[in-house]
């Protein structure tokens, strides 16, 4: 169905949240938990359960009215790793596209499965979901967004389908992660249960959630393919940046460039799993891909530079949105109310039946992910509170971990404080409000199924 009514720009919406966050600092009491070094990684601090206390008057922070403007610079600084990733990836992708390799590959793929988009959607769901389920991939998907948008457009679908093929399996993979070191392993360690335990059950849950996501995405894709006016993005212009050139014939040079591109992605996945490589290494690999691709494609120094700068410049909007999104949590932390919010929502679960407590934990973790969109950051703040609370309410520790995972992972698909999501939407030129219209019906189904799994895990511990 075509979007109607008032259009709200993504940056305007995020800026409104920043102002709202500052207004909350004037009405929510300031307080904090005590923290101590995490035994498994002393560089991280963990909340000490039961230590929340209101700050004394002489320690209160009074933010100036214009602090939300100051915080934007701090938010940009804290999100600099993702911002630089977006600029570098954007530049390198344009260099590779300049060689014609990407567009030749796209047209070849479309020619082979243009009448069967279900293969493309299923393939992306399996690949991205497995990457998040295992080693916590997410940033690694950003470079593929322009490619997937181009492919979806050529296959007579829209960019919403491309976004769904990335962010739905990403969120589900994080939500059901079996060995993801950035969320489930941290949470299980805090809860005192064996690391990676229950991964088989989580894998089965992931398949159920992916089936829901595939049905939602495929139904929308077919509706748009049959009637483009039904697209939620029918008013967005994709005439520039996503259309293939006239020459899309595959040749030896372009094949070699694609091999270099895929080898670079594979190298990062291997290094991430074996050596803990992260964004710095990903940037390094992409710069290497760009240089090698330019040499193989004989672009020359000037053409390579111009293509890189053009690609990077197209990412300015996405990069700014990432920085603004990070600013929301910066304001809450600067105003000393982040711990107060977490403590308040946790208090609501005391003294209720196990089933209600388990579902309540899911809702609390989902709410907390709005304020703390980092998976590891949320684990260090909430799990020391939820783990003893689970014991008091008769909820198994594995269920407490599952509630954390579901709340952290699934809401990554729509919370505007997720710099990764907002940056990805900007890359694909998908307005945030349009994305909400697409994703929220699916989120209702996912949260209902998640509640069922939470209750089952209480009665059938794994």
Q: Does residue 82 form part of some domain?
A: yes
Do the beta carbons of residue 122 and residue 131 sit within 8 Å?
no
Domain that holds residue 411: 10-32+66-459
Do the beta carbons of residue 21 and residue 328 sit within 8 Å?
yes
pLDDT of residue 295: 95
pLDDT of residue 4: 38
Angstrom distance (rounded) from CA 174 to CA 136: 7
Angstrom distance (rounded) from CA 417 to CA 322: 9
Do the beta carbons of residue 397 and residue 387 sit within 8 Å?
yes
Q: Does residue 102 form part of some domain?
A: yes
- The CB-side HSE value for 301 (13 A sphere, CA atoms) comes to 0
**Alpha helix (H) residue ranges in 297-353:** 301-313, 316-334, 338-347
| pLDDT tens for each residue of 291-300 | 999 999 999 9
Q: Does residue 80 form part of some domain?
A: yes
Angstrom distance (rounded) from CA 236 to CA 7: 11
| pLDDT tens for each residue of 292-324 | 999 999 999 999 999 999 888 877 877 887 788
Under-70 pLDDT residues of the chain: 1-10, 40-41, 43, 106, 110-111, 113-115, 243-248, 392
pLDDT of residue 452: 97
Q: Does residue 362 form part of some domain?
A: yes
Q: Does residue 46 form part of some domain?
A: no
Do the beta carbons of residue 193 and residue 401 sit within 8 Å?
yes
Q: Does residue 224 form part of some domain?
A: yes
- Specify the residue for token string 């805090």: 190
Q: Does residue 2 form part of some domain?
A: no
**What phi-psi label fits residue 314: left (phi over 0), alpha (psi between -120 and 50 degrees) or beta?**
alpha
Question: DSSP assignment, residue 28?
Answer: S
- Specify the residue for token string 């990432």: 322
Two structure tokens written together for 87: 């600029």
Angstrom distance (rounded) from CA 347 to CA 328: 24
pLDDT of residue 404: 95
Stated pTM of the model:
0.75
Angstrom distance (rounded) from CA 117 to CA 377: 37
Q: Does residue 420 form part of some domain?
A: yes
pLDDT of residue 301: 93
Local structure of 315: helix, strand or coil: coil
Number of domains in the chain: 1
pLDDT of residue 84: 87
């Amino acid at each position: 169905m075509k979007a109607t009514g008032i259009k709200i720009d993504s940056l305007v919406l995020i800026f409104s949240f920043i102002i709202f966050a500052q207004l909350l600092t004037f009405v929510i009491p300031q307080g904090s938990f005590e923290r101590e070094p995490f035994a498994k990684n002393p560089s991280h601090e963990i909340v000490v359960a039961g230590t929340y206390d209101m700050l004394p008057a002489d320690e209160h922070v009074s933010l100036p009215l214009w602090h939300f403007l100051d915080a934007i610079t701090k938010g940009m600084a804290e999100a600099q790793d993702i911002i630089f990733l977006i600029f570098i990836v954007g530049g390198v992708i344009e260099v590779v596209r300049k060689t014609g390799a990407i567009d030749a590959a796209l047209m070849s793929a479309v020619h082979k499965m243009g009448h069967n988009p279900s293969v493309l959607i299923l393939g992306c769901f399996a690949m991205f979901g497995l990457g998040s389920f295992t080693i916590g991939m997410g940033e690694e998907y950003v470079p593929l967004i322009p490619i997937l948008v181009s492919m979806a457009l050529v296959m007579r679908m829209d960019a919403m389908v491309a976004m769904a093929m990335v962010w739905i399996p990403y969120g589900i993979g994080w939500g059901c992660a079996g060995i993801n070191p950035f969320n489930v392993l941290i949470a299980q360690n805090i809860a005192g249960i064996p690391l990676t335990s229950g991964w088989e059950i989580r894998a089965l849950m992931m398949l159920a959630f992916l089936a829901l996501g595939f049905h939602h995405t495929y139904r929308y894709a077919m509706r748009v393919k049959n009637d483009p006016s039904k697209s939620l993005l029918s008013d967005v212009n994709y005439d520039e940046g996503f259309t293939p050139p006239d020459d899309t014939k595959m040749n030896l040079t372009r094949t070699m460039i694609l091999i270099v591109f895929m080898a670079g992605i594979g190298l990062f996945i291997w290094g991430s799993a074996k050596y803990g490589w992260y964004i710095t290494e990903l940037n390094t690999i992409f710069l290497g891909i760009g240089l090698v691709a330019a040499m193989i494609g004989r672009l020359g120094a000037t053409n390579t530079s111009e293509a890189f700068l053009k690609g990077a410049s197209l990412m300015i909007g996405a990069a700014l949105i990432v920085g603004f999104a990070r600013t929301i949590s910066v304001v809450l932390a600067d105003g000393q109310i982040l711990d107060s919010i977490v403590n308040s929502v946790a208090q609501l679960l005391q003294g209720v039946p196990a089933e209600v407590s388990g579902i309540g934990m899911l809702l609390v973790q989902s709410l907390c992910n709005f304020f703390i969109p980092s998976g590891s950051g949320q684990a260090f703040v909430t799990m020391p509170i939820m783990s003893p609370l689970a014991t008091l309410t008769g909820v198994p520790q594995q269920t407490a971990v599952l509630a954390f995972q579901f709340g952290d992972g699934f809401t990554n698909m729509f919370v505007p404080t997720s710099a990764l999501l907002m940056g990805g939407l900007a890359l694909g030129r998908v307005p945030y409000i349009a994305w909400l219209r697409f994703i929220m019906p699916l989120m209702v189904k996912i949260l209902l199924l998640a509640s069922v799994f939470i209750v089952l895990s209480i009665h059938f511990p794994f």
